[in-house]
Amino acid sequence: MTELEEKLGYHFKNKDYLKTALTHSSFANENKVPGGSNERLEFLGDSILGLVVADYLYKSFPRLPEGDLTKKRAALVCEKACCGFSRQLGVGKYLLLSRGEQNSGGRTRSSILADAFESITAAIYLDGGMDESRKFVLRFVLPLLKETKPKIFKDYKTSLQEIVQKNPEETLEYVLTGESGPDHDKHFTVEVCLDHNVIGKGGGRSKKEAEQQAAREALELMGY
């Protein structure tokens, strides 16, 4: 138990919380454990995990719309993510499982490991309060958030096109206004025009990137 506490970075005042968090329902039923399994802690931990992540995302990404915040949160609190967090901690080694569950590979089962991470989160909350559970959760969530960040791409050109199409009589055009630098380090500047009126300018290392930045500026000026 002490070994796991070292990995968790938290030492329990009441060790029973951690023991319950590691107790699978199969073990509790087989051994008639008085305190029961980790299912109730899992229920609480799921809510704490969601709150901590939602709070962090809301404060860290003030301009991100609700839909994108929801997608980010879902990716950070899903079973795959929580299972990965448990694997980092080596939680499977410490789980209390029935013989049957052990023999069927319960120590490496994704659902069991994910549930255990939520249960441990709740156990830390009950023993040490919200600040401790937040510190514990963010220790795992933040590196994952950094890993997924580069994959996020916003197609500003498509968004702008969809808005303009609502008025069929209007025409949208991207005009290359500048090109500089050597072949291995080019820089392009582009203007996006609506009915021949410039509504956005952008630059980038490729024409496509410059067009995206011009569309982004146009959307901002239009209030989107």
Give the CATH number, domain containing residue 216: 3.30.160.20
- Alpha carbons 174 and 181: distance in angstroms, whole number: 21
**Catalytic annotation on 169?**
no
Please give the span between the terminal C-alpha atoms of the chain, in angstroms, as a whole number.
53
Contact 202, 213 (CB under 8 A): yes
Both 164 and 60 in one domain: the answer is: no
**Total of domains in the chain:** 2
pLDDT at position 223: 81
pLDDT in tens, 11-63: 999 999 999 999 999 999 888 887 789 999 999 999 999 999 999 999 999 88
- Alpha carbons 140 and 88: distance in angstroms, whole number: 9
Tell whether pTM > 0.75.
Answer: no
One of 46, 101, 127, 191 is an active-site residue; which one?
46
Both 31 and 14 in one domain: the answer is: yes
Residue 28: how many other CB atoms lie within 10 Å: 19
One of 101, 118, 127, 217 is an active-site residue; which one?
118
Both 14 and 111 in one domain: the answer is: yes
173 is in an annotated binding site: no
80-94, 118-132, 148-162: the lowest-pLDDT one: 148-162
Tokens of 46: 């799921």
Of the chain, the percentage scoring pLDDT greater than 90 comes to 66
- pLDDT of 66 higher than 50: yes
Q: Name beta bridge partners: 172.
A: 194
Range of the domain at 189: 156-222
Both 179 and 140 in one domain: the answer is: no
Average pLDDT over residues 169-196: 90
**Catalytic annotation on 118?**
yes
| CATH number, domain containing residue 141 | 1.10.1520.10
